Every structure is written in C-alpha cells, then in structure tokens.
Structure 1
Amino acid sequence: MPSGKIRWFDAKKGYGFITGDDGSDVFLPSAALPAGVTTLRKGAKVEFSVIDGRKGPQAMGVTVAAALPSMVKASRPKPDDMAAIVEDLIKLLDSAGGTLRRHRYPSSAESKKLATLLRAVADNFDVQD
C-alpha cells in the first residue's frame, strides 16, 4: 500500500493532494477519507490505494498513519498566564465601554491596540484538537 504526506487539503472544496513517498502527486477526494474524518492537516502521514481517475491517479481508502501535532496548540500560553491576559483584556474592554457610554469611540490607537489583543486572545482559544 503506498504512503505519503498530505500536500494540501481543503474541506470546503472537498479535495486535496497527497505527495507520495516516491514524489508523485495523487488527487485526494473527500470521499476517500476515513469515516468521521472531514479534513487533514498539511504534512499528515497517510497510507492509501491508487486508482486511475479521469485526470490521473486518485487516492482511495485513505488511512491516517500519523497526524502532525498542532504547532499552535504547542505554543499556547499556560492557563495561569492566559488567565492574567484575559483579566487585563477585561480591564481594557471595560475602559472602552466607559468611553462608548460617553457617546465616543476610543481613539484610533486604542482601538487598534484593543483589536490586536482581541485577535491574539481569540487565536489562543481557537485551537483545533
């Protein structure tokens, strides 16, 4: 059974490509994924069988040999550190709320700082297991 790594896979489009250990590219339709699997990360090691499709080799019967660990998850702050960050963010949001209650938006610099912090905190919470 051939093996390779996921070159890319887009769940919305419903397909991707595998780069075989021999260097060949194989089309990967979402129908070939194992039951319960809806997406695969780039670089995940897979085993598959190959059939001749309309436009070349196509993977079927894909099994995931080893998924890559999430780099985002590995680099997340510790829960105690995250708690302090969230508490500081709440103080900033409270200050912005006070400004808004006075019928004004925070200054442009404050708004950009707050938006950047919100995105960073959201990214730390939005990690796929």
Structure 2
Amino acid sequence: MPTGKVKFYDSTKGFGFIHTDEGHEVHLPASALPEGVTEVRAGTRLEFGVAEGRRGPQALSARILSDGPSVVRATRRKPQDMAVVVEDLIKWMDMASNSLRKGKYPQKAQAEKIAMALRKVADELEA
C-alpha cells in the first residue's frame, strides 16, 4: 500500500490532499479516514489504498501511521510553569465554589478571567 503525508485537510469541506512518498498528489476525502477520525493535521503520515476517481487518484481506507507535528505542543509552556498556572486556577475555582455555595455567582469580571484561564489551560494540556 502506498504511504504519504497529508499536505492539507479541511474538515469543514471534508477533503484534503496527500503528498505520496513517490511524489504524487492524491485526493483525501473524509470517507477515506479511519472510523471516528474527523480531522487530520498537515504532516500526518498515512497508509492508504488508491483508486482512480473523477478528478484523478483518490485515497481509500487510509490508516494513520503517525500524527503530524503540533505547533501548539512545540510552543507550550514548560511543565513547571504550567504547575503554577494550574495552582492559581485551582485557587480561583475554590473562590468561585465558595461563592456558589453562598448562593451567588462570581462577579462578571472574575467569571470571565476564570473562563479564559480554563480555556487556555485546557488548550495547553490537550496539545
């Protein structure tokens, strides 16, 4: 089976292209992705079957060999630095919890800061 790297993939449009190890471009439709996979990053290595489609070669039943590089992972904070951020977030969440136990939601400014911090920490941890 041929192998190659994902050149790009647009999950909203449901297709992308693979640059094969032999130097050819192959159309990658969403239907060729493994079950449960809805998105692949550029640089992801795939093994796939090829069939001639209406617009040229098209990938069939792709299998992921290795994930592409993550820009977020390469630029995320050191674990020691993240520990401090998570500890601060825990303190904020504790204050919000105490406020909620008293029957009050946190003030809007505080709630926005907590929500923003939660999103950032989630992105860093998920990378």
Number of residues of Structure 1 aligned to a counterpart in Structure 2 = 121
Equivalent positions of 1:1-129 (< 5 A) are 5-10=6-11, 15-18=14-17, 26-29=26-29, 32=32, 38=37, 39-44=39-44, 51-53=51-53, 55-57=54-56, 58-60=58-60, 68-127=68-127
Give the deviation of 1:25 after TM superposition: 6.4
Give the deviation of 1:7 after TM superposition: 2.0
Unaligned runs of 5+ in 2: none
Distance 1:87 1:28, change over 3 A: same
Q: Aligned partners of 1:75, 1:85: CA distance in 2, in Å?
A: 16
Distance 1:65 1:103, change over 3 A: closer
Q: Aligned partners of 1:126, 1:3: CA distance in 2, in Å?
A: 26
Asked if 1 retains the 8 angstrom alpha-carbon contact of 2:18 and 2:27, the reply is no
- Secondary structure of 1:42's counterpart equals coil
Give the deviation of 1:2 after TM superposition: 9.5
Give the deviation of 1:17 after TM superposition: 1.9
Q: Aligned partners of 2:92, 2:5: CA distance in 1, in Å?
A: 48
RMSD: 3.5
Unaligned runs of 5+ in 1: none
Q: Aligned partners of 1:62, 1:125: CA distance in 2, in Å?
A: 28
Q: Aligned partners of 2:106, 2:119: CA distance in 1, in Å?
A: 17
Distance 1:59 1:122, change over 3 A: same
Give the deviation of 1:80 after TM superposition: 0.9
Give the deviation of 1:126 after TM superposition: 1.0
TM-score by length of 1: 0.67
TM-score by length of 2: 0.68
